[in-house]
Structure 1
Amino acid sequence: MTDDLDDLKAALHAAPPAPDASKKEADLALAMKNFDDLQGSRDGARPTSDAPKFGALGKGVLEMLNALNTRGGLAATTALVAVGFAVLVVMPNVDRVEMPGVTMTPTPTVDDTLIEREEAIAPSAPKPLGKVAQPPARTRSDSTTELRAQTGQATPSVVAEPLMEADGSPFADSDGYIKYDDMPGILPVPRDARGEEYANEVPSPLKITTEDPVSTFSIDVDTASYAVVRRDLKSGYLPNPNAVRIEEMVNYFPYTYPAPEGPHPFAPTVTTMQTPWNSGTQLVQIGIQGEMITDRPPLNLVFLIDTSGSMSDPDKLPLLKQSLRLMLSELRPEDEVAIVAYAGSAGEVLEPTKAADRDTILGALDRLDAGGSTAGAQGIELAYQIADRMAADGEVGRVLLATDGDFNVGIHDPDALKDFIADKRDTGTYLSILGFGRGNLDDATMQALAQNGNGQAAYIDTLGEARKVLVDQLSGVLYPLADDVKIQIEFNPTQIAEYRLIGYETRTLAREDFNNDKVDAGEIGAGHQVTAIYEVTPVGSDAVLTDALRYAPSPDADGSDEIGFLKLRYKRPGEDVSTLIETPIMSDADKAGSEQQFAAAIAGFGQLLREDKYLGDWTYSDAIALANGSKGDDPYGYRAEAVTLMRLAESLSN
């Protein structure tokens, strides 16, 4: 061992030997010979997979191409060449094709080998401690299909059904968007309609009769809120609570109130019933029926149509055109129609034209297209100018504004716009609003303008709703019976301890406004109905929520059977002085029938949607049972549809 080490050290320090040229040449020649033996002759083709492997098929194709030199022949053989090329490309990979009954073992690559080694040395996964809970299965909801079956509506081919949880509630992501099946052109629907603004207030508070016995409010014949609620529930999500105005939901349905008799254009009816959600309270319902007319005067209508870019959606301008087509069929030949469009700048699309000239009116409608910014106020000014030209003694003038509620250009001050419309109202031309579409709906502005214009605000979400508003209720929408209709009730503190008005939060008035004829209020049109509901707590009931004041004087029993006193004021169109109607509300007032019970079910439904605090443990199931048991005569299916909406809301709220 020591000798070898010494020899190695000596070699390291020795001088290198001189190079041997002959030895180097011999070694190089041997290396080249070995390379040639392994690779084959240098004159032959290199064996590589890159070289084309033509067999009989390749030779046949080449011979065919050489033989055919016409365009037709070349075109005919092009497909064969493509097929042959595909075969040549695929053939090298044929060993990777899985054959039935044959197990193929692919050659492991470096990555496969590394993976196998990692799996071999990786620690085994721990066993689960128990059964892992699986997410609930999601199924397509058939609630909308059921609704359409009950209402006779066809299932639209462009609307996607939301994915539903197993319990029937919609599956939503963390942002509140409902998940839909993959369908081209379908976007997720937001749980709340972002960008929409609603006119509403907090629910009416409970009042103590000894402290505040008088309740005053303006009537409301609008129905827009119910249509918005229906739209949202059909889309698979609960409505924004601010969109729920209970009086508009209740007033959406027709009731069999007695027709007026005597000098007044409407008659009030008062009934009482036990409150469905509180056995210790009662509901006092006031129903008003406007008189029907058969011989109305001619109508002068100005359609003010929003054609801005925001109106391009199918449920906006296209639906608007279809809706006005339905309305035209109900006009009389002597009625006149004009059309004003606004989008960037206002323009007269159709000069005043007799309704008998239907083709001219429809042609003007068909030419409307959506595009541009919105100059709503400028359009309103032009519409009223045309209405002034059309005005004639004994005729009814109305501007009908159809929009998604977007007003971007013109009179920017909302108060100035309201004042302008109110001034035009005093000249006899009223303004009604038709809202269309979702996502951009400015309900607050439309409500304010309609109230100042002595008109009605409606929301058109379907062609069926257009028929209800513009065909079945055309006279009520366009022909006024009474203006500035106000209701005031004084409750008897010896009979009623507490009370609250259900709905009408945006229509409340000060007590002194009732006798002030300068204060504006709602109107009633021909055949219109109005329903107002109070929940009252009798003196001595266990349901009283407030304690008596220690030092407050106790009301002396007056021996009266009156629980309250009802007063109404109204003006005939064109008059400045109001007329008063008075009637006592007796403790033995007419007991409620199925009509009042159904109205109570709708009032409870609206409170559930708003999550009001006075319902106790009353649920959607209770509302469904009450509505089902009191549907009564339902020729148009409105009440059956309401029950279906309740079921949808119940599923969505779970």
Structure 2
Amino acid sequence: MMKKRILVLGAFLALLATLLSSCGAYAPKGEIAGPDGAEDQMNFAPDAPAEEVEAKPEASEAAGDDEGPRKILENSFVDAAVHPVSTFSTDVDTASYSLFRRLVQKGYTLEELKATAGGCLRTEEMVNYFSYTCPEPTEGIFGIKATVAPSPYNDTTLLMLTLATQKTESSKKNNLVFLIDVSGSMMSEDKLPLLKKAFSYLVGRLDGDDTVSIVTYSGKEEVVLDGCSGSKSERILQAVNGLSAGGSTNGEAGLKMAYRLVEAHYIPDGNNRIFLASDGDLNVGASSVEEVRELVSEKKKSGVYLSVLGFGEGNYRDDMMESIADNGNGVYHYVDSDAEAEKIFGEDLFANLYPVADDVKLQLTFRPEVVAQYRLVGYENRILSEEDFKDDQKDAGELGAGHCVTVFYELKLRERTEESAELPFAELAIRWKEPGETKSKEKSFTLEQELYTENPDEDFLFATAVVECSALLRDSAYKGNASFENIRARLAKLNLEKDFYKEQFAQLLDTLIKNSSPNEKFAAI
């Protein structure tokens, strides 16, 4: 049980399903010089352009192999008359934005970002890092907000959907296992030392009803703490702060031991969760993404959640970290700073700890009389088939207490007629399970044409600035007239001072422009 405190809604955010991520290790071929002149190991190819229109949306395939960078093909436009149904899983990961922030602050230029990390900067994770206003749920667990307005950077229309769960404080007891990578690759200051600070924020919020265990792994796994009361914060912190790095990385053995411990102290109707903290560089045991995915997928059936905290760079395995969290019914964060660690286990704590909805799926059925073509922006590795929506065996994303999830669709509308004017843009269905349940619930909403506006609110203007930025970072085939000049002009009209994170985003764009050479052209890149 957590010590009582007011939950501050921190936008947190990005939505999940079964496929792998958009990029691989920071290592391989064709390394480029980083901003300090040294060779930087990140080398992620930008996303490949997709076809202009496809008849039916399919789950995107991750390109590349285990030795090279991975990328995800962008979702293309779909003919609504041929295939009106779009289905995908929610995702509240935020790792991409934290990674983007770290690289910009280190001095990366736009071209370096596109060449090395473009496929790693997933649009949905960029957008969902931030909070947006959303009405409280009137019934059920979801509040819904929808806006339809002209795209600021394309000759299309954008549909923005925001879902929010109730910001309630949970009284559930916690059974937590900290699974900590102490291999040699974790030595640097931005890895194990920062990891220790991150866990200190969580430990300070536990009490006697909570149970904490610690497993470390390098060449071998070791149980450092077994079922310690959460009230013994000094003992827990002493165990964490006494860790040191060295050796190889047998993540498979560590994961198996962590699951044994969490099952040994399992709390019925409690919060049973593993926090894996690592750079994802597994080199002993199950080291391929697929092997780890299978291991975690099998274990999640026991009702245990597995969330992931990523640290560091150089040999960082984003694909591994995202896949572990996705298949472990957890959330993936990248910790780039002490401030981010405090955010994760401070204002976003309840959303990160307490699930309120499992296997959350969204399905939109567009009216072809109104919408000629549609394109889901981001969520490329969360795409589901139409049949998956009703399949309660099909895994999807978890949402915690106070989570906020935002989705964009790019639309090409038909000319309005007297008949079509009375029809909605689409029908939205949400399907989810309550934690511990096996049967899903479902709720539907109608997205009427009255949602359209030429004067969208600040949430829409800010979120589209993030989408536009992501299009430039990924060198999107659908970036249209996107430019940093447009983004900065739009942000300048908003009152960002009331939101530290949104104000920081505007500052990061200024930093990115300064990082880039005077000859680097930002407009219509």
CA contact (8 A) 2:183 2:247 kept: yes
Q: What is the letter of the counterpart of residue 177 of structure 1?
A: A
Q: What is the letter of the counterpart of residue 368 of structure 2?
A: P
Deviation at 1:613, TM superposition (A): 2.6
Q: Residues 224-256 of structure 1: CA distance to partner in whole angstroms, max 9, x if unpaired?
A: 000111111111114221111000000000111
Q: What is the letter of the counterpart of residue 403 of structure 2?
A: H
CA contact (8 A) 2:272 2:304 kept: yes
Deviation at 1:413, TM superposition (A): 6.0
Distance in 1 (alpha carbons) for counterparts of 2:68 and 2:163: 30
* Alignment match, 2:33: 177
Secondary structure in 1 matching 2:329: coil
Task: Say whether 1:277 aligns with 2:135.
Answer: no
Deviation at 1:355, TM superposition (A): 1.7
CA contact (8 A) 1:257 1:287 kept: yes
1:624 to 474, 485, 488: 488
Distance in 2 (alpha carbons) for counterparts of 1:512 and 1:456: 25
Deviation at 1:618, TM superposition (A): 2.6
Task: Say whether 1:213 aligns with 2:84.
Answer: yes
Secondary structure in 2 matching 1:583: strand
- For the pair shown, the structure with the greater C-alpha radius of gyration is 1
* Alignment match, 1:188: 38
1:426 to 295, 301, 310: 301
Change (3 A) 1:526 1:196: farther
Secondary structure in 2 matching 1:249: helix
Change (3 A) 1:179 1:258: closer
CA contact (8 A) 2:31 2:43 kept: no
Q: What is the letter of the counterpart of residue 118 of structure 2?
A: P
TM-score, normalised with respect to structure 2: 0.83
Deviation at 1:197, TM superposition (A): 7.2
Residues 454-533 of structure 1: matches in 2 within 5 Å? 454-533=329-408
Change (3 A) 1:633 1:259: farther
Task: Say whether 1:604 aligns with 2:454.
Answer: no
Distance in 2 (alpha carbons) for counterparts of 1:599 and 1:178: 29
Deviation at 1:449, TM superposition (A): 1.1
1:372 to 247, 251, 270: 247
Task: Say whether 1:244 aligns with 2:121.
Answer: yes
CA contact (8 A) 2:286 2:292 kept: yes
Distance in 2 (alpha carbons) for counterparts of 1:602 and 1:412: 34
Distance in 1 (alpha carbons) for counterparts of 2:377 and 2:67: 24
Secondary structure in 1 matching 2:169: coil
CA contact (8 A) 1:189 1:235 kept: no
Task: Say whether 1:649 aligns with 2:520.
Answer: no
2:142 to 266, 272, 282: 266
Q: What is the letter of the counterpart of residue 479 of structure 2?
A: L
Change (3 A) 1:415 1:351: same
Task: Say whether 1:564 aligns with 2:422.
Answer: no
Q: Residues 106-140 of structure 1: CA distance to partner in whole angstroms, max 9, x if unpaired?
A: xxxxxxxxxxxxxxxxxxxxxxxxxxxxxxxxxxx
Q: What is the letter of the counterpart of residue 581 of structure 1?
A: K
Distance in 2 (alpha carbons) for counterparts of 1:335 and 1:633: 37
* Alignment match, 1:42: none
* Alignment match, 1:99: none
Q: Percent identity?
A: 36
Q: Residues 390-446 of structure 1: CA distance to partner in whole angstroms, max 9, x if unpaired?
A: 112221100000000011222356445323322322211110000000011111111
Deviation at 1:557, TM superposition (A): 4.8
Deviation at 1:287, TM superposition (A): 0.4
2:191 to 316, 321, 330: 316
CA contact (8 A) 1:247 1:504 kept: yes
Q: What is the letter of the counterpart of residue 506 of structure 2?
A: V
Residues 106-505 of structure 1: matches in 2 within 5 Å? 176-178=32-34, 180=36, 188=38, 190=40, 192=42, 200-237=71-108, 238=110, 239=113, 240-262=117-139, 264-278=140-154, 280-412=155-287, 414-505=289-380
Q: What is the letter of the counterpart of residue 650 of structure 1?
A: I
Secondary structure in 1 matching 2:476: coil
Task: Say whether 1:615 aligns with 2:491.
Answer: no
Change (3 A) 1:496 1:324: same
Change (3 A) 1:493 1:445: same
* Alignment match, 2:438: 576
Deviation at 1:361, TM superposition (A): 0.7
Secondary structure in 1 matching 2:256: helix
CA contact (8 A) 2:169 2:350 kept: no
Distance in 2 (alpha carbons) for counterparts of 1:198 and 1:331: 40
CA contact (8 A) 2:95 2:125 kept: yes
Secondary structure in 2 matching 1:595: helix
CA contact (8 A) 1:207 1:499 kept: yes
Secondary structure in 2 matching 1:501: strand
Deviation at 1:277, TM superposition (A): 0.8
Deviation at 1:595, TM superposition (A): 1.1
Distance in 2 (alpha carbons) for counterparts of 1:593 and 1:253: 15
Secondary structure in 2 matching 1:588: helix
CA contact (8 A) 2:289 2:319 kept: no
Q: Residues 439-464 of structure 1: CA distance to partner in whole angstroms, max 9, x if unpaired?
A: 11111111111111100010001001
* Alignment match, 1:80: none
* Alignment match, 1:74: none
Name the structure where helix makes up a greater proportion of residues: 1
Deviation at 1:318, TM superposition (A): 0.6
Q: What is the letter of the counterpart of residue 451 of structure 1?
A: D
Deviation at 1:330, TM superposition (A): 2.1
Distance in 1 (alpha carbons) for counterparts of 2:460 and 2:79: 25
Deviation at 1:222, TM superposition (A): 0.3
Q: What is the letter of the counterpart of residue 302 of structure 2?
A: T
Two-structure CA RMSD over aligned residues (Å): 2.2
Deviation at 1:335, TM superposition (A): 1.4
Distance in 1 (alpha carbons) for counterparts of 2:198 and 2:227: 19
Distance in 1 (alpha carbons) for counterparts of 2:210 and 2:69: 34
Aligned residue pairs: how many? 459
Distance in 2 (alpha carbons) for counterparts of 1:597 and 1:332: 42
Change (3 A) 1:584 1:434: same
Deviation at 1:327, TM superposition (A): 1.6
Secondary structure in 1 matching 2:330: coil
Change (3 A) 1:480 1:299: same
